[in-house]
């Protein structure tokens, strides 16, 4: 299993052709208290860089982009009832959805943990 | 992820407590021309709850503090507002409105009667325009002093009185919407029992040079935690209090905005304030639209700019403030609805972010006010 990151502050954990997606600890810190999450529908096709979910904090609504293209295989229903999981466990129980990847070569465009940390340090 | 925060174009100014906020872990954002704390480390929900349960300290030094003095200051301000200032006794304050010729709201403000004049607190984002308006409209013999060497701190919550009494003996004797001069940590302070959260609490005006010592002393009390603009906004929304530039502006009248209580009885009869004719008509006949509270179905917040729709899907109004209510655990909003729909329990549809929401018109406040009308007589 390998962890990747996007410049839009999503993380991606890849296991074979499945990729689990969430938002990073940095992102949840910037958003503040999350009060609502809208998840995609299982079976939806999503395109890398396009909106796939919505996260709303007390302050503002934000889109969560699909880091990779694929088909939604699973969604984290727990976030609907407990959106605060995005704050308390952003890179674990606060995951958003799981994708069946169309093209694993898209992973080449993502950052590893060290590159993401370096990127966040510039913000 | 994308965030749609907009940046101010003019570099924001720095408030007296800027360094103190940063040392307390505040996230600073541009607001009303200043860098302001939007939240501290505990976050907006925790700060909001702390204010409802204990006491929260807000720095509102961005607001304009003005002193209007000279012989006929009350009469001169009556010409610009619908308030009865002739009967405003010393040590009392009133919520008031600066009105334009069509009855639109130039700003909302607090007016206190002090020994040295009428003390006004106006909104930070509008203070420069307010000062220009007042200088132009007030007669030459009236003096307008912008107290920009003063800070303004608000201590709000059910424990606020007990805490402040320790630092300024006697503040507990103040009742809601009364005020007085106190000595606070060796400095002169003007303290009113008022606020913008729906809770009991105080607003404290003091020289900016003494603000940090006061903030530090208040936060050293076990009941007090600092709270930022984020919690201030969610608290005032729950309390049903309008935010200038959002829920009220130059296009809305006091009657439309549900602020008719600020139009004094004598002034209704006598008129003599800007827009008096239109306001008298709206008081008699009812306004075409009214500010309403909205209880939004589901969990997703509906925010400013969302549209109110009729059953055919035509636009009939709009949402002016909206968000998540930490106390009620659900989304709430304010907006304008046409007269016939502006009744509690009416159902309306809202359109936001490409979706349709249903909402019920709700009486405000959403969360009951807990003002202390009568001070402790001891």
The answer to whether A61 contacts B303, with C-beta atoms less than 8 Å apart, is: yes
Rounded distance between C-alpha atoms, residue B236 and residue B130, angstroms:
22
Structural domain contains residue B69 = no
In a domain, A122, yes or no: no
In a domain, A87, yes or no: yes
Nearest CA in chain A to B228: A59
The Cα A88–Cα A23 span in angstroms is 12
Q: Do B2 and A8 touch (CB under 8 A)?
A: yes
Do residues B353 and B340 make contact, with C-beta atoms less than 8 angstroms apart? no
- Which residues from B are below 8 Å from A27, CB to CB? 1
Supply the DSSP string of B212-236, one letter for each residue.
Answer: HHHHHHHHTSTTEEE--HHHHHHHH
Domain extent for B295: 288-362
How many folded domains does chain A comprise?
1
Q: What angle do CA B367, B369, B373 make, to 5 degrees?
A: 170
Nearest CB to A62 within list B1, B44, B324: B1
Q: Is there a single domain that holds both residue B156 and residue B232?
A: yes
Domain range for A10 is: 2-117
Q: Please list, residue by residue across A99-110, b when 16 or more beta carbons sit within 10 angstroms of its beta carbon and e when fewer do.
A: bebbeeebeeeb
Q: How many domains does chain B contain in total?
A: 2
Q: Is residue A123 part of a domain?
A: no
Low-confidence ranges of chain A (pLDDT < 70): 1
CATH no. for residue B350?
Answer: 2.40.30.110
Nearest by CB to residue B4, choosing from A9, A10, A60, is: A60
Task: Return averaged pLDDT per consecutive 10 residues of chain B, 378 residues in all.
Answer: 52 95 96 95 97 98 97 96 97 98 98 98 97 97 97 98 97 97 97 98 98 98 98 98 98 98 98 98 97 97 95 91 97 95 90 94 97 83
Task: Give the Cα separation of B292 and B90 in Å (integer).
Answer: 34
Helix (H, G, I), strand (E, B) or coil at B332: strand
Interface contact B2-A65, CB threshold 8 A: yes
Rounded to the nearest angstrom, the minimum Cα separation between B216 and chain A is 25
Cβ B45–A58 below 8 Å, yes or no?
yes
Looking at the structure, do residues B33 and B169 belong to the same domain, yes or no? yes
Q: Name which of B1, B39, B301 is nearest A8 (Cβ-Cβ).
A: B1
| CATH code, domain carrying B233 | 3.30.1360.120
In a domain, A75, yes or no: yes
pLDDT of residue B4: 43
Q: Are residues B225 and B158 in the same domain?
A: yes
Nearest CA to CA, how far is B227 from chain A (Å)? 14
Which of A8, A10, A36 lies nearest to residue B299, judging by beta carbons? A36
CATH number, domain at A58? 2.40.50.100
Chain B neighbors of A55, CB-CB under 8 A: 1
Domain termination site, one of B238, B272, B301: B238
> How do residues A59-74 score in pLDDT, each as one tens digit?
889 999 999 999 999 9
Let me know if residue B323 belongs to a domain: yes
The reply to whether A61 falls in a domain is yes
- pLDDT at residue B378, rounded to an integer: 59
Indicate whether B234 and B293 sit together in one domain: no
Quick check: is B301 in a domain?
yes
User: Do residues A62 and A35 lie in contact, with contact meaning Cβ atoms separated by under 8 Å?
Assistant: no
Provide the 8-state DSSP code for B241: -
Locus of tokens 């609805």: B337
**Are B233 and B303 contained in the same domain?**
no
- Residue A20, domain member (yes or no): yes
CA A103 – CA A90 distance, rounded (Å): 26
Examine residue B261 and state whether it is found in any structural domain, yes or no. Answer: no
> What are the chain A neighbours of B303 within 8 Å (beta carbons)?
61
Which of chain B's residues have a Cβ under 8 Å away from the Cβ of A25? Answer: none
**Residues B160 and B53 placed together within one structural domain of the fold:** yes
Last residue of a domain, one of B176, B204, B238: B238
Nearest in space to B301 (alpha carbons), one of A32, A94, A19: A32
Q: Please indicate whether, in this complex, the C-beta atoms of A56 and B324 are within 8 angstroms of each other.
A: yes
Q: Is A55 on the interface with B (CB under 8 A)?
A: yes
pLDDT at B375: 82
Residue from the list B2, B45, B299 with its beta carbon closest to the beta carbon of A62: B2
Q: Are both B44 and B176 inside the same structural domain? A: yes
The answer to whether A56 contacts B2, with C-beta atoms less than 8 Å apart, is no
Question: Token pair for residue A5?
Answer: 């990151």
Residue B268 maps to a domain:
no
| CA-based nearest distance B331→chain A, Å | 9
Nearest CA in chain B to A36: B300
Whether B295 and B176 map to the same domain: the answer is no
Pick B230's closest partner by Cβ from A55, A56, A58.
A58
User: Considering only alpha carbons, which residue of chain A is nearest residue B39?
Assistant: A32
Give the count of Cβ contacts less than 8 A between chain A and B.
61
């Amino acid at each position: 299993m390998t962890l990747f990151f996007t410049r839009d502050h999503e993380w991606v954990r890849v296991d074979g052709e499945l990729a689990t997606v969430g938002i990073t600890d940095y992102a949840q810190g910037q958003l503040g208290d999350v009060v609502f999450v809208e998840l995609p529908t299982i079976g939806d096709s999503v395109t890398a860089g396009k909106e796939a979910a919505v996260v709303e904090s007390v302050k503002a609504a934000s889109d969560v982009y699909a880091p990779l293209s694929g088909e939604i295989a699973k969604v984290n229903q727990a976030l609907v009832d407990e959106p605060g999981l995005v704050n308390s466990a952003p890179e674990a129980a606060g995951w958003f959805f799981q994708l069946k990847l169309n093209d694993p070569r898209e992973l080449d465009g993502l950052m590893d943990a060290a590159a993401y940390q370096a990127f966040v340090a510039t913000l | 992820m994308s965030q749609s925060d907009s940046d101010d174009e003019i570099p924001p100014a720095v408030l007296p407590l800027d360094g103190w906020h940063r040392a307390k872990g505040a996230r600073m954002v541009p607001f009303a021309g200043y860098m302001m704390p939007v939240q501290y480390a505990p976050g907006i929900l925790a700060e909001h709850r702390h204010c409802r349960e204990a006491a929260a300290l807000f720095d509102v030094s961005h607001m304009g503090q003005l002193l209007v003095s000279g012989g006929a200051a009350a009469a001169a301000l009556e010409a610009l507002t619908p308030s009865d200032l002739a009967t405003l006794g010393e040590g009392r304050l009133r919520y008031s409105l600066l009105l334009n010729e069509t009855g639109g709201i130039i700003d909302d403000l607090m007016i206190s009667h002090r020994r040295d004049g009428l003390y006004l607190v106006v909104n930070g984002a509008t203070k420069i325009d307010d000062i220009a308006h007042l200088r132009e409209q007030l007669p030459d013999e009236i003096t307008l002093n912008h107290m920009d060497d003063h800070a303004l701190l608000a201590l709000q919550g059910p424990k606020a009185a007990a805490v402040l009494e320790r630092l300024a003996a006697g503040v507990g004797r103040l009742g809601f919407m009364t005020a007085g001069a106190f000595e606070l940590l060796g400095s002169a302070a003007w303290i009113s029992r008022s606020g913008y959260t729906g809770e009991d609490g105080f607003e404290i005006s003091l020289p900016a040079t003494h603000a940090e010592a006061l903030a530090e002393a208040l936060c050293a009390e076990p009941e007090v935690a600092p709270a930022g603009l984020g919690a201030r906004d969610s608290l005032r929304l729950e309390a049903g209090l309008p935010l200038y530039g959002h829920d009220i502006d130059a296009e809305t009248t006091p009657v439309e905005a549900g602020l008719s209580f600020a139009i004094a009885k004598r002034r209704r009869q006598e008129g003599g304030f800007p827009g008096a004719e239109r306001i008298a008509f709206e008081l008699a006949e009812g306004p075409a639209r009214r500010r309403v509270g909205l209880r939004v179905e589901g969990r997703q917040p509906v925010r400013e700019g969302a549209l109110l729709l009729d059953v055919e899907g035509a636009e009939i109004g709009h949402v002016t403030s909206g968000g998540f209510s930490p106390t009620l655990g659900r989304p709430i909003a304010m907006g304008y609805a046409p007269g016939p729909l502006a009744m509690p329990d009416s159902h309306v549809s809202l359109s936001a972010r490409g979706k349709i929401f249903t909402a019920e018109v709700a009486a405000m406040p959403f969360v009951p006010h807990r003002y202390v009308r009568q001070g402790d007589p001891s």
